[in-house]
Structure 1
Amino acid sequence: MGRVKTIARRSFLVGSVAIVSGVAFGYYMYRKPGPNPLLDDLQEGEAALTPYVKIDASGITLITPRADSGQGAYSVQAMMIAEELDVDMDQVRVDPGVPSPAYYNTALAAESAPFRPTDRSTMANTTRGVMDAVMKFTGMQMTGGSTTVPDGYEKLRMAGAVARETLKVAAGRRTGQDPKKMTTERAHVILPDGTRIAYTDLATEAAQIEPVDHLALRHPSRWRIMGTPQQRLDIVAKSTGTQRYCIDFEPQGAVHATVRTNPRKGGAMLGFDATAAEKMRGVKQVLPITGGVAVVADNTWRAFAAVQAIDIDWDDAPYPLEMDSHWQALSDSFNDDRLDSRKRDDGDVAAAAHEATDAEVVEAEYRAPYLAHAPLEPSNATVLVGDDRVDVWTGTQVPRFVQANVAKLTGIDADNVHVHVQMMGGSFGQRLEDDVERQATEIAMQMKGTPVKLTYRREEDMVHDHPRQIAMARGRGVVRDGQVHAFDLGIAMPSVMSSQMGRQGWTVPGPDLQIVAGAWEQPLKIPNYRVSGYRAPELAPVSSWRSVGASTNGFFHDVFLDELIHAAGADPVEERLRLMWHEPSRKVLEAVAEMSNWATMPGAGRGRGVAFCTSFGVPVAEVIDVTATPDGTRIDNVWVAAEVGRVIDPVNFENLVQGGVIFALGHAINCEITYADGMAEQDNYYAFEGLRMRQAPKIEVRGLENDIHVRGMGEPMVPPAAAALSNAIFAATGQRIREMPMNRHIDFV
């Protein structure tokens, strides 16, 4: 093992890893890779160089560090490695790995840099490189921002390729034959005479070989797995009810806990009386925790019942108690003192407005409410605290944050905090927070040596969610000679990043680009074009919700653009195409127009609306077809076209887009979180209703592959959906809806 460890600590331009009986291989953008987590717990005869592929006597394990909350992240990561490794999907198992800087997210750099995704200038690319270095040196292991595919597209494929070629060299060492004359297939090296040697049989030799680092990735024309329809690795388990989620994990000897904390988030607990709860059947302990109280019982249901029997005195909220004050805070933020960014300021919008006649000026105000994440699986985590070790079983998008915060709470070194990442039953951004892990740790610290399984009641989960930001926008534009001449949009919202990262003890410097995300970066050449972001004061604590700032701004920007186009008397598709200078975006809009047969009239009582939004670097266009019935508006059809550079799995791509559209429409129509006396009024699904089956439209999807940059599709279909629906309703009824949820203004059937 000593020899292998020596090799493992070298720095390669292309890293590799061998584990015997196992081999693990990986690719690094930099010459000096970070610490390899596989070195920390080597068994006799094992070796490790880098972290992505593990081959041992029992089979092939692919390390897939981007979290899976139902979007297929484990499968798509495995596909990218398997493609170059020459293994089939039925030959592998996946493991999310351990928290480690080695798994930092390379693609987050593009989202963090203050440049439009279409800006490929030297300055933009240099800044992205600097941001990537920041991500590496901070070990930013995070799943989010639709980065799973762009993060892994090259490095995971390279991991498979390095492994494949090094295994061929190992076969050459054993047989004396030329590796260049060998091929690979289904986890075997094939010698020139047809002899097949299993990868697992070559692990020992491969562990001693310097990795092959001069190779090229296969051209897409040679792909066997990527780009073709695949069955996800979890589909059988999910179809048969055998998929195990975090909430299903229960170690032997575990006790069950639940909590109540101040429903006015961030407020204190002034006192409590647990006399009645302590006498209830199955209750083991009632324990104080930060901001509230926990009940530990012999099963979850008894813990739920007992926690409700506690009489608690809560302090006030540290934010406005009523919704009117929240909206007023946004309204008051449209001033120079609150200006956070003005990333788009083309031409002279003030002069254009000054020169315009009253007939040429269009003004409007838009609103978007707080929204809960509300995944189907309620928040839960299991924690076991020992004298010098902590184990945490949880579903999380930020395992290193969990590790660091548990270490701070317990005083145990982070290297001895072992986070076992589990499959999640949904997230939509909720699992970027770690409240449940911290609370489970607080309880487990008071019950050392006993595993504590903490599960939230649905009501606790909803009320204590850190929701999507509330937002308001004001637009003022000018139309002239049948065209959009000036576009001035101001957006006010609290800072999502400051709220979210502040809970991690981080200060976010400079402007929060999420305030203008999905608005300022649109590839339009309007002569006078300005987008301003105004940072509202902190209100209710907020967090990243699927597509973050773009989830509101895609609605604001495109509905206002549609109003201007209508005022100009232009065709909604043709005017958008005229304004659009980015060719891949034009093709997206042209594709959705063709898919929806835009040129035809939809018929009496029907309307068709189009919307476009670039978010996370992905141009997406959507057309929605609605019918105005005597009982309300019916959504009939949705067409979606998106440019992602490469579609890795057409089946999962289609399902992900369709699910995202349903998610977006349900929230746009039905959902909001409102506060009264500082508390969220919606505490379960009956008051936060998703799109019903009877309301669900037919959805047609097309993925385009014209751009050179590979992107992810977990979020970008969300921002245009509400805008396309609002525009369709206007086309059908003449009623312009500028506020969500839309059921405040019309009925849906």
Structure 2
Amino acid sequence: MRRRTWLLSAAGAAGALVVGWGVLPQRSRLGSGALMLRSEGEVPLNGWIKIAADGSVVLAMPRSEMGQGVHTALPMLAAEELDVPLSSVRLEQAGADAIYGNVSMLVASLPFHPLEDAEGDGSLSVKAGRWIVGKLARELGINATGGSSSIADLWDVIRLAAATARASLVGAASLQWKLPAEELVVKDGVIRHASGKSVGYGEVARAASGTPPGAVKVKDRKEWTLIGRSLLRLDLPEKVDGRARFGLDVRLPGMKFASVRLCPMLGGSVGAIRSEKGLSMPGAERLVMLPALGGSTAGFAVVGRTSWHAQRGASAIDVEWHQRPLGGLDSRQIEAELEAAVRTQSGHVFYERGDAAGEERSGKLVEAWYHAPYLAHATMEPMNCTARVAAGKVEVWAPTQVPEMARGIAARVAGVSTDDVIFHTTLLGGGFGRRLEVDVVAQAVRIAMDCGGAPVQLVWSREEDIRHDFYRPMQVARLRASIDSGGRVTSLRITSAGDAITPRWMERGLPMLSGPFDTPDKTTSEGLFDLPYGIATQRIEHVATRMGVPVGFWRSVGHSHNAFFSESFIDELASAAKIGPVEFRRELLKDAPRHLAVLNLAAEKSNWGGALPAGRQRGIALHESFGSIVAQVAEVSLVEGKPRVHRVVCAIDCGTAVNPGVIAQQMEGSVLFALTALLHGRIDIREGAVQQGNFHDYPIVRLAQAPSVETWIVASGRPPQGVGEPGVPPLAPAVANAIFALTGIRRRKLPLAA
């Protein structure tokens, strides 16, 4: 009943669902050729595919490239179905139509337990929920790159669009030659017949635009020639030779530069300003006040001839900052309040079966508390945006994961229609969820409004970036389980507490969808309520708080800390049962064959139980997130009491592996990202101000600390699932479990090196 209430509330927040609308079929995502840009010599065949005069293919690209390889994997799908070389596919930024929205990301936000949502066996309420939210998502068309969903969302869409275009092209040749279409074959973009006739795509594209495709069928996997191969990434050459354009690379005639200073106290405000000294600095030209925009803290910006002039001018301004009316935030106090919430408050029950409280009265009770701190994103490319406001029009260049949300806030700040905003999405120098926010876009547009039509590039300093992030929430959890005399887990109770991300994010970027109430947010309990282990009696609940710290999506979101809690605790239970960590998990996974296969693969490839150099131990963890199952084995030693990770063996079942090389890259990057967090990551807040400010006190893993990473992919015929994030969650518990194997001491609080 709770889940049904959540579903209806979420739908109501987006607008009333009427019966007539609800029974209509879901909107097609193929789209018409009118949605693509009109360019000389290029013929659009639907909303995704154009054919150029030389026979090359232009693919509409609605997803942002931030290093995850999506600008290679998605073109591979189009090239496969069109039978063209991957090198002949070019990308064009997709427009604003709803067909480019991310349906899978919204459907995945439903808090259904895997047992309820099993493929082909979902309950009526689960099926109805997925249908309604999927239909709503198609209507809303929210274009976002997040939730490791790009390939999963567009797997069918792009293949169908390309197959449809191919059918029309072949059909056009068939009509011209008066030969049956089934006698024609295509290779490398050339249509051929056994009689010797041949024609390139570019030569029949115009005729194909008016040729119905007839029956369309995507290729069977046994026909694939590209999907499943480790092809070189299309974005690498331009990144190597400098042609690639990130947000910081935007340069326009007459461009000015801006630097911000925001109130050091989160949620604070600007008092008296003495700007004379700052504006008298060489190259400093203008002061622009910035209210709290897009969830940011208030402050000001200085505009100058170069970024250096703007930064020096901003730093020289004397300002009186005011604390927020409710008083300064303190992360130590927040942690204590979260612990109290776990002890005293009832939360939303995400999953329950059996009587966990009753089962605890029998057998051996094991209880543990786990803690995770606030974390910043610290993307390598600092926050930036370029904007121009002139003659009632706005033009924006930004590295963003949400171009349409960014376009929307640009329009609201400038007071124009979204039709009057032109938006250019650049490459992203790291996203990790930080660029799901639109605060920097709002600030850049506000600054540009004061600059007489000149384009302005706003660049945050690293200090502003770390001190004014939307942080991964702090979270506290109490885990309790009972074990019988045979070492069997008979009950599991988990209560966690921490801020909910999704309602805060919607308030900032999608105010039309946010309501006066919060619905249960799956991200708070993911990785706790949806465990694969066969424990008959469970109660998993979360107390959603609102502590005042700006929180946002951080790579792998709730899984990033909840996996540390759950997989460390599973190891604790194995120890209490006096059973090895792998054997203990195997017993719990008897009814979860996919998870068991991943666990066994990681154990095999890591030589689990084999000899290790003196002073090293292994730890293992298994976790499912974003549709993919990942097991990691970490080989760890201690150097002056701090963990040193030497080797990580990673096994993954992500469904169909579109590009195994990119999957391996993502696992390697995820391990390094997770290693930084588990060793060093912590944001401390005192009197409202974040204490960390740059890489000297918010360090990242350096080359010398990087472990070797091996990736093993489970062969699968299932549709592809997420890859960009699932490699992050298992590492912290794997390392913590290795430390226990070394020392006999449990480390239940992140970061582990603290």
Q: Same fold (TM over 0.5)?
A: yes
CA contact (8 A) 2:27 2:135 kept: no
Shift of 1:39: 4.2
Please give the alpha-carbon distance, in whole angstroms, between the structure 2 residues aligned to 1:589 and 1:725. Answer: 16
Give the aligned partner of residue 4 of structure 2.
none
After alignment, is 650-659 or 181-190 more displaced? 181-190
Give the aligned partner of residue 47 of structure 2.
51
Please give the alpha-carbon distance, in whole angstroms, between the structure 2 residues aligned to 1:414 and 1:150. Answer: 29
5 Å matches for 1:182-331? 182-212=184-214, 214-290=215-291, 291-317=298-324, 320-331=328-339
Give the letter for the 1:306 counterpart. G
The Cα offsets for residues 422-462 of structure 1, whole Å up to 9 and x where unpaired, read as 10110101100011110010011122421111111111111
Shift of 1:146: 0.6
CA contact (8 A) 1:37 1:100 kept: no
The Cα offsets for residues 380-407 of structure 1, whole Å up to 9 and x where unpaired, read as 1111112232111111111111111111
Q: 1:640 aligns with which of 644, 650, 668?
A: 650
Residue 72 of structure 2 aligns to a residue in which SS? helix
Give the aligned partner of residue 742 of structure 1.
752
The Cα offsets for residues 453-500 of structure 1, whole Å up to 9 and x where unpaired, read as 111111111111111111111112222222323222111111111222
Number of aligned residue pairs: 712
Residue 696 of structure 2 aligns to a residue in which SS? helix
Residue 301 of structure 2 aligns to a residue in which SS? strand
Q: 2:354 aligns with which of 347, 350, 369?
A: 347
Give the aligned partner of residue 169 of structure 1.
171
5 Å matches for 1:577-616? 577-580=586-589, 581-602=591-612, 604-616=614-626
Q: 1:375 aligns with which of 368, 379, 382?
A: 379
The Cα offsets for residues 286-305 of structure 1, whole Å up to 9 and x where unpaired, read as 12121211111111111011
Give the letter for the 1:53 counterpart. I
Alpha carbons of structure 1 residues 319 and 490: separation in structure 2 relative to 1, 3 Å: farther
Give the aligned partner of residue 485 of structure 1.
490
CA contact (8 A) 2:359 2:482 kept: yes
5 Å matches for 1:494-513? 494-504=499-509, 505=511, 506-507=513-514, 509-513=518-522
Pair 1:555-2:564 in alignment: yes
CA contact (8 A) 2:168 2:209 kept: no
Give the letter for the 2:320 counterpart. D
5 Å matches for 1:406-485? 406-480=410-484, 481-485=486-490
Alpha carbons of structure 1 residues 31 and 97: separation in structure 2 relative to 1, 3 Å: closer
Alpha carbons of structure 1 residues 702 and 108: separation in structure 2 relative to 1, 3 Å: same
Alpha carbons of structure 1 residues 401 and 596: separation in structure 2 relative to 1, 3 Å: same
Please give the alpha-carbon distance, in whole angstroms, between the structure 2 residues aligned to 1:328 and 1:37. Answer: 57
5 Å matches for 1:661-672? 661-672=671-682
Give the letter for the 2:111 counterpart. P
Give the aligned partner of residue 365 of structure 1.
369
Shift of 1:44: 8.4
Give the aligned partner of residue 8 of structure 1.
none
Shift of 1:335: 5.2
Give the aligned partner of residue 527 of structure 1.
536
Please give the alpha-carbon distance, in whole angstroms, between the structure 2 residues aligned to 1:299 and 1:740. Answer: 40
Identity of aligned residues (%): 32
Residue 304 of structure 1 aligns to a residue in which SS? helix
Please give the alpha-carbon distance, in whole angstroms, between the structure 1 residues aligned to 2:558 and 2:323. Answer: 28
Residue 238 of structure 2 aligns to a residue in which SS? helix
Shift of 1:347: 2.4
Shift of 1:117: 4.0
Shift of 1:627: 2.4
Please give the alpha-carbon distance, in whole angstroms, between the structure 1 residues aligned to 2:33 and 2:471. Answer: 34
CA contact (8 A) 1:34 1:101 kept: no
Residue 503 of structure 1 aligns to a residue in which SS? helix
Residue 108 of structure 2 aligns to a residue in which SS? helix
CA contact (8 A) 2:31 2:47 kept: no
Please give the alpha-carbon distance, in whole angstroms, between the structure 1 residues aligned to 2:406 and 2:333. Answer: 34
CA contact (8 A) 1:347 1:528 kept: yes
After alignment, is 118-127 or 686-695 more displaced? 118-127
Gaps of 5+ in 2: 1-24, 292-297
Pair 1:332-2:340 in alignment: yes
Pair 1:95-2:103 in alignment: no
The two structures have a TM-score, normalised by structure 1, of 0.91
Give the aligned partner of residue 546 of structure 2.
537
Shift of 1:731: 0.5
The two structures have a TM-score, normalised by structure 2, of 0.91
The Cα offsets for residues 554-607 of structure 1, whole Å up to 9 and x where unpaired, read as 101111111111011011111111111221111111111111111335464322
Please give the alpha-carbon distance, in whole angstroms, between the structure 2 residues aligned to 1:488 and 1:707. Answer: 35
The Cα offsets for residues 604-654 of structure 1, whole Å up to 9 and x where unpaired, read as 432211111111122211111112456643212111111111111011110
Give the aligned partner of residue 391 of structure 2.
387
Please give the alpha-carbon distance, in whole angstroms, between the structure 2 residues aligned to 1:48 and 1:166. Answer: 11
Gaps of 5+ in 1: 1-28, 745-749
Please give the alpha-carbon distance, in whole angstroms, between the structure 2 residues aligned to 1:255 and 1:168. Answer: 51
Q: Which runs of 4+ in 1 moved over 6 A?
A: 43-47
After alignment, is 289-298 or 263-272 more displaced? 263-272
Give the aligned partner of residue 14 of structure 1.
none
Shift of 1:210: 2.3
Please give the alpha-carbon distance, in whole angstroms, between the structure 2 residues aligned to 1:108 and 1:254. Answer: 37
Give the letter for the 1:431 counterpart. R
Q: 1:731 aligns with which of 717, 736, 741?
A: 741
Shift of 1:273: 1.4
Give the aligned partner of residue 9 of structure 2.
none
CA contact (8 A) 2:110 2:522 kept: no
Pair 1:151-2:153 in alignment: yes
Alpha carbons of structure 1 residues 38 and 675: separation in structure 2 relative to 1, 3 Å: farther
Shift of 1:275: 0.6
**RMSD (CA atoms):** 2.1
